[in-house]
Structure 1
Amino acid sequence: MKQFIDFLPLIIFFVVAKMDPREVSLAGQTFELGGIISATAILIVTSIIVYGLLWYRQKSLEKSQMFTIAAVIILGGMTVLFRDETFLKWKAPLVNWAFAVVFLASQFIGSKPLIERMLSHAMTLPKPVWYKVNTSWAVFFLLLGAANWFAAFMVPGDFWVDFKVFGNLGLTLVFTVVQFMFLGRYLQEDAQTTGKETE
């Protein structure tokens, strides 16, 4: 459910971006609806609403969510202000590369890699495995950022819009499934150990 909420502004962005531009009237004002610029404005508004509601409900946001909303407001705002989609095209590569840096840096800063801090409440893994999983997430975000950059700047047309929504989601789901397949052996061992302790 949480992942869907995070992707909701992107889905709305995709729908509006694919619409043919048209003028609509709202509260006595005329606005353009359809195309990248108006879709970006709606992305900013829906992101503020979604993350605002999450913050109101949880009294906090995850650091990744705060970084994402900041990138949407800054780069999306520049896209709308200058009517240039180049700024928004940089959002996905920069956000993914920032995540890659954070995951990698966590292996050298503090006592635990980031993935262990995030998931140690749910599973127990040997220390070397935590580092392998953490490194794999860093590499994944590095490659995902590169794929977003390629889709945005090397492929003509608005393919980057499709990739931004469905490519990111699809690749993340596939990678997550592969991760759980890799971790399956350790999860089974952890479950067996827990079962013996309760006997």
Structure 2
Amino acid sequence: MKILFDLFPLLLFFVSYKLAGGHQDAIHSVLNEHVGKFVSGGAIPASQAPLIAATIVGIIATTAQVLYLLARRKKVDGALWISLVVFVVFGSMTIYFHDGDFIKWKPTVIYWALATAMLVAYRFFDKNMIRVAMEKQVQLPEPVWVRLHFMWVTFWLVLGFVNLFVAFVLFKSQDEAWVNFKLFGVTGLMLVFFIAQAFYLSKHIKDEA
């Protein structure tokens, strides 16, 4: 259930992009009628309409996540706050300048912000964020926790570079290909990482038994 909650903005972003792409003329007209007067140049190009529509939906969905948790008096974790701030900033620039390059930077900024936060917490506050998140479920020796911490930092950094490569080199000017990668490619890479992490942890858990 939590996985679906975490993926909620991404899924809505993907679905809204596909729906808007299938009705581009209608979405273009609606956006220019209601949003056009607030953007640079006073009009949104038809080619950018699907991505801008998806960006608006994504911002609303992420905001709704935060408001839902606050209304339920539940903790909003740091990653979600980072996601909201970055989505609003880069999403707003995407809408105002009707330029999809801004929103394509958003995942990388989030991944690198997470890596930076983990490094700062470890270096200056002696806090291993991965251990904080997982130690109730599994007991590991200290050296393993440290390696796991840096595995996650490295993963976020590499994933950020991969997103830039896909967005601006491999599929340059191909919005739909990048949107597909954002859902299926990134999710696939995370799944592979989780599986590799599970194998790594299982070895050390057995060693501790």
In structure 1, the gaps of 5 or more residues are 193-199
Structure with greater helix percent: 2
Which of 51, 60, 64 is the equivalent residue of 2:79?
A: 64
CA distance in 1, matches of 2:34, 2:125: 53
- Residue number in structure 1 paired with 2:146: 131
Deviation track 1:114-166 (CA, whole Å, cap 9, x = no partner) reads 21121112221111110000000000001000001111111221222111121
* Aligned residue in 2 for 1:180: 198
- With structure 1 as the length reference, what TM-score do the two structures score? 0.85
- Are positions 1:51 and 2:51 aligned together? no
CA distance in 1, matches of 2:143, 2:130: 12
Q: Given the alignment, which residue of 23, 26, 30 partners 2:26?
A: 23
Name stretches of at least 5 consecutive residues in structure 2 with no aligned partner: 36-45
Structure 2 CA distance for aligned equivalents of residues 96 and 34 of structure 1: 26
Tell whether the 8 Å contact from 2:14 to 2:54 is kept in structure 1 after alignment: yes
Which of residues 140, 164, 172 is equivalent to 2:155? 140
- Asked whether the 8 Å contact 1:16–1:34 carries over to 2, the reply is no
Cα distance in 1 between the residues matched to 2:93 and 2:161:
22
Provide Cα deviations, 1:85-139, integer angstroms capped at 9, x if missing partner. 1111110111111112222333322233221121112221111110000000000
Match of 1:197 in 2: none
Deviations 1:13-43 (A, max 9, x none): 11222223132699xx768996101111111
Q: CA RMSD in A?
A: 2.3
Residue 113 of structure 1: aligned partner:
128
Match 1:91 to one of 106, 125, 135: 106
In structure 1, distance between residues paired with 2:146 and 2:76: 25
Give secondary structure in 1 for the equivalent of 2:87.
helix
| C-alpha distance in structure 1 between counterparts of 2:100 and 2:129, whole Å | 33
Within the alignment, does 1:168 sit opposite 2:183 as a pair?
no
| Structure 2 counterpart of 1:5 | 5
More strand by share: 1
What is the identity percentage for the equivalent residue pairs of Structure 1 and Structure 2? 32
Is the 8 Å Cα contact of residues 23 and 30 (structure 1) preserved in structure 2? no
